[in-house]
Amino acid sequence: MARPPEFDREEAIASAIRVFARQGFEAASTRDLIEGIGIGRQSLYGAFGDKRGLFLEALRHYSAGSLAQMRVALAKGTAAESIKAALLVGLGSSGDVESGCLGVGSIVEFSRSDPEINALNDDAATAVVTAFAGRVRAGMEAGEFDAELDPEAAARMLLILRSGLKVAARGGASNSELGDAADLALCSIVRR
């Protein structure tokens, strides 16, 4: 009979996210993960199967957490205020290389070469677009946004901007620069 893991699975995944965000999938060795998580090799394999299994679970967990942060931001304030907050929440920074976006990092590292990673990233993107589109529709109904907007197209633009903001934050862009970019994007959908 297998022994239950002697570690907190959620903490282990959070630690793995930091290792993968810092190093990427390929560069993160099993040893790096074991040291970063603080568990033994057998525990890692017993709980996650292998490095890839751990990465997939970390990516799933990261995406869910990022979406939850965005949904909280989208629920507060006017449509424009909430969209700006959702664009800027949880971007990470160049000062903390472990705060990078695991989703964007996996897209850069794998492109479209891995069907399982593609599926996870596609599901995450669909959820983000759906969340943004709902808030854009609310802004249109309130007269805050241009009534002729295509909410899905606007939401896809916001998803692309958010991905770019994450890269810019990791590259050293200041909060002010990131906020200015979000403001400029919102100018394209605000009713004139």
Question: Cα separation of 184 and 178, whole Å?
Answer: 10
Residue 87 near residue 185, CB atoms below 8 Å: yes
Q: Residue 98 carries which DSSP code?
A: G
Q: Residue 2 pLDDT > 90, yes or no?
A: no
Q: Residue 6 pLDDT > 80, yes or no?
A: no
Residue 30 near residue 48, CB atoms below 8 Å: no
Question: Cα separation of 162 and 6, whole Å?
Answer: 38
Residue 3: which pLDDT band, with cuts at 50, 70 and 90? low
119-146 tens-digit pLDDT: 999 999 999 999 999 999 999 999 999 9
Of 112, 107, 96, 95, the closest CA to residue 162 belongs to: 107
Query: What are the C-alpha distances in Å from 33 to residues 6, 16, 76, 111?
Result: 16, 6, 37, 23
67-92 tens-digit pLDDT: 999 999 999 999 999 999 999 999 98
Assigned token pair, 21: 């965000």
Residue 56: which pLDDT band, with cuts at 50, 70 and 90? very high
Q: What is the CATH number of domain 9-187?
A: 1.10.357.10
- Residue spans of the domains in the chain: they are 9-187
Say what the pTM is. Answer: 0.92
Residue 70 near residue 123, CB atoms below 8 Å: no
- Contacts of 7 by beta carbon, 8 Å cutoff, 6+ apart: 37, 38, 39, 43, 47
